[in-house]
Structure 1
Amino acid sequence: MKVTGAVLPFLPFCQRLLPSRLAGLSLALLKATALEIAILAGHLLLYPSGITQERRTPAPALPTDGAAQLPTEAKPPVVLLHGFIDNRSVFVLLRRSLAQHGRQQIESLNYSPLTCDIRTAAELFSRHIEEVCERTGAPQVDVVGHSLGGLIARYYVQRLGGDTRVRTLVTLGTPHSGTRVVPLANAHPIVRQMRPGSPVLEELTRPAPGCRTHFVSFWSDLDHVMVPVEAACIDHPDLTAENVRVTGIGHLALPVHPAVANGIRQVLDTARPGEPSAGRAGGLTVA
C-alpha cells in the first residue's frame, strides 16, 4: 500500500543541490515535517472539543420484528487511548474511518494530563474496559493506543491480566523500549517512565507466558518522538506481535493518516486470538 503526496514545487532545485539519495531523505523529512505542523495546527483547533469525556451510548438494540437474520460475526468494541498531554480529539478521523467500515461501538477514553504514573493509568484503564464490556455485553474489546496510550494499554494487558479482555492491541508510535527524545523533559515523572531501562519498561520485558492478546505496532521511520525510531517496535518472546513499518510521516500523523487508518482496519478485521493478522503480508508503506 503506497500513498504519494503532491510534488513540492522546489523539488528540482533541491535535487540539483543535493546528491539524489540525500535529497530524497531531506525532501521526505521536509514533507513529513510540513505535514506534522499542519496536523498540529488542526489538532490545536480540535483540542477543546475533546477535553470532556464523551457521552456513553448503549449498545445497538437487536431487531424485534421477528425477521430472520443472516448469521454475522459481531465485531468487538474499539477503545481508543490518546497519548501524552493529549485527549480524544486526536482520533476524530480514525474514529470516522472505523465507523464508515462497520464498527458500531467505538469509544475514546480521556485520562488526566496530570497523570504521573503508567501503572495507575493502567489500573484506571482496566476499570474502563470492564465498564465497556458490561455495558455492551461484549466479552472482549480491541484497543488502539497512540504513543503513551499504547504503553498504558500494554501494561494493562501484560501486567494486570488484561489479555482476557483485549483481543487485539494496536499501538501507534509507542515507545515500547523507551525513547531518549528531549532529555530536559525528564522533570515529568511519566516521561522518566518512558525512558530506556525504566522500572516500568523493565516490567514489560519480564516473561508473559500464555498472553492471549494479539499485538500490532505501527512505527514510522520519520517519527521524531521515538529516539531511536525502532523504539516503537515490540520485541518480546512471549507475545504474539508484529511490527508494521510506516514511511514518510511523523508521530502526530500516525492516528490521522488515511493509509494508517486503512492498515488499522485490516488488522482489526482479520486478527483472531492466537493467529497473525493479514497486516503481516506486504506491510504498510506511506510515502
Structure 2
Amino acid sequence: MNGAEKLPGALDRRGFQRASVKRRIATVVAVTWSAVVFGTGPSVAKEPLPVPYSYFAGIQASVKSPGAAPPGSNDWNCKPTAEHPNPVVLVHGFLGTMTSAWQTLSPLLANNGLCVFALTYGVTATSQLGAMAAIEKSAAEVGQFIDRVRAATGTEQVDLVGHSIGATLPFYYYNYLGGAAKVRHHVGLAPWYRGTTQLGAAPTLLALMGMPGIGPAVLEQCGVCDQALVGSPFIEVLNANAAVAPGISFTNIMTRNEEVATPYTTGYLDGPNVTNIVVQERCSLDNTDHFQLPYDPIATQYVLNALDPAHAVEPQCRVVLPFVGAI
C-alpha cells in the first residue's frame, strides 16, 4: 500500500491518524470535564512514601527540618475508611519529638491507608525536646490533641501508638482524664509500666532528686525525671493496669536489649485484652535496642499488625542492629 492508497472507511493514512488523535483529545477532555463537574474520573495512585529503617533517619530529619511533622502525618483533611476506621495518634518518648521518633512508622502506616497524626508534647521552658514535663501535664496535652484529631476526622475513637514514656503516660489519661473511652487500640513500644530501674541507678537518682537545691532545680525543667523511676510514688498513681480500660486492646512490643526501660519486662501487662511481644522471641537475629525499636522493621510490622489485624503478616526475620537498623 502506497501513500495514494486508501485505508478502510475511505480515510488515507494521515487522515486516519488525525482522526485517532482527535478521538484521544476528545476522550481526555470528556474525562477532565466529568472530573471537574461531577467529581468523578480516574483516580491517580499516590507514590508510596519512603520508609527508612534506621534510628539515624530520625536524627537526620531533626537536623534538616527540626519540629516538622513526619512524612504521611497531620493531614487534617484525611478521613478514615471503613477498613481503617480509627485515626492513629503517635506519642514519642522522653527527649524526643514527633520529627525524631516517627520517620518510619508514620509513612509506613500512611502507605497502608491509615490516617496518621503526631505531636510534640511536654516541652519545657529551656528545651525544645519533648516529654520532659510532668506526666500529668503531658497526658493532658496528649488528650487535647486526641480531641482535636477526633473532631477533624469525625471519629469517636483513635488508635494510639507510643514509645517509652509515650506508651506509659496514656494510663494517666485513661485513669484520670476520661481517655479510656476515646482509644480503641493501644500499642506500646518499650513501655515502662512499672517504672524503670535505669540499669540499677534508680535509687541513687531518687536520692539526688530528694536533695535540697538539686532536686527542685532538676524537676523544674524535667518533671518526669523522678516519676519514671522504680520506687517513685507516682508509679502507684499511674496505675498501669489493662483492667482499667477493658475496651482497649493493648499490644506491648519489647526488646531484651534495653538500656532505658529496664528491665524490659516492665513493659508487660496482664489481661485478656493484652498481647505482649518480645522481638527476640520472634526473631533471634533482631538486636534492636530501646532507641532503634520504633525504626525496627520487625517491631513496626507488629505495630501495623495490631492496628490492621485483618491483613496481619509475620515479618521476615532479619539482622537488625542498635541505632544502625536493618542490614
Normalization by structure 1: what TM-score? 0.70
Aligned to 1:26: none
Q: Is 1:113 aligned to residue 123 of structure 2? A: yes
What is the CA–CA distance in structure 2 between the aligned matches of 1:267 and 1:57, rounded to whole Å? 22
- Kindly tell me: are residues 206 and 46 of structure 1, through their superposed partners in 2, closer, same or farther at Cα, counting changes over 3 Å? closer
Match in the other structure for 2:60: 45
What is the deviation of 1:231? 1.3
Could you say what the CA RMSD is over the residues aligned between the two structures, in angstroms? 3.1
Report the Cα distance in structure 1 between the residues aligned to 2:261 and 2:240, rounded to whole angstroms: 22
Would the aligned equivalents of 1:50 and 1:88 in 2 still touch at CA under 8 Å?
no
Identity, in percent, stands at 26
| Alignment match, 2:75 | 57
Highest Rg: 1 or 2?
A: 2
Matched with 1:266 is 305
Cα distance per residue 1:180-202 (max 9 Å; x no partner): 11546654431210112323320
Counterpart for residue 192 of structure 1 = 226
**Counterpart contact for 2:185–2:248, Cα < 8 Å:** yes
* Larger RCO (alpha carbons 8 Å, 6+ apart): 1
Instruction: After superposing the two structures, state which structure 1 stretch, 180-189 or 256-265, moved more.
Output: 180-189
User: Aligned partners of 2:66 and 2:184: how far apart in 1?
Assistant: 26
Distance 1:148 1:220, change over 3 A: same
**What does residue 237 of structure 2 align with?**
203
Q: Is 1:226 aligned to 2:261, yes or no? A: yes
Task: Pick one of 90, 95, 98 that aligns with 1:88.
Answer: 98
Q: Is the 8 A contact 1:245 1:283 kept in 2?
A: no
C-alpha distance in structure 2 between counterparts of 1:150 and 1:204, whole Å: 12
Query: Would you say the 8 A contact 1:59–1:136 is kept in 2?
Result: yes
Alpha-carbon deviation of 1:159?
Answer: 2.9
Alignment of 1:63-212 (within 5 A): 72-89=82-99, 90-103=101-114, 105-114=115-124, 115-181=132-198, 182-183=201-202, 187=218, 188-205=222-239, 208-209=243-244, 211-212=246-247
Q: Is the 8 A contact 2:86 2:155 kept in 1?
A: yes
2:292 is aligned to 253
Seen in structure 2, the aligned counterparts of structure 1 residues 284 and 109 have a Cα distance that, compared at 3 Å, is farther
Aligned residues: 232
User: Residue type of the partner of 1:97?
Assistant: L
Q: TM-score, normalised by structure 2?
A: 0.62
Would the alpha carbon gap of residues 53 and 171 (structure 1) be closer, same or farther in structure 2, given more than 3 Å must change? same
Q: Is the 8 A contact 1:81 1:145 kept in 2?
A: yes
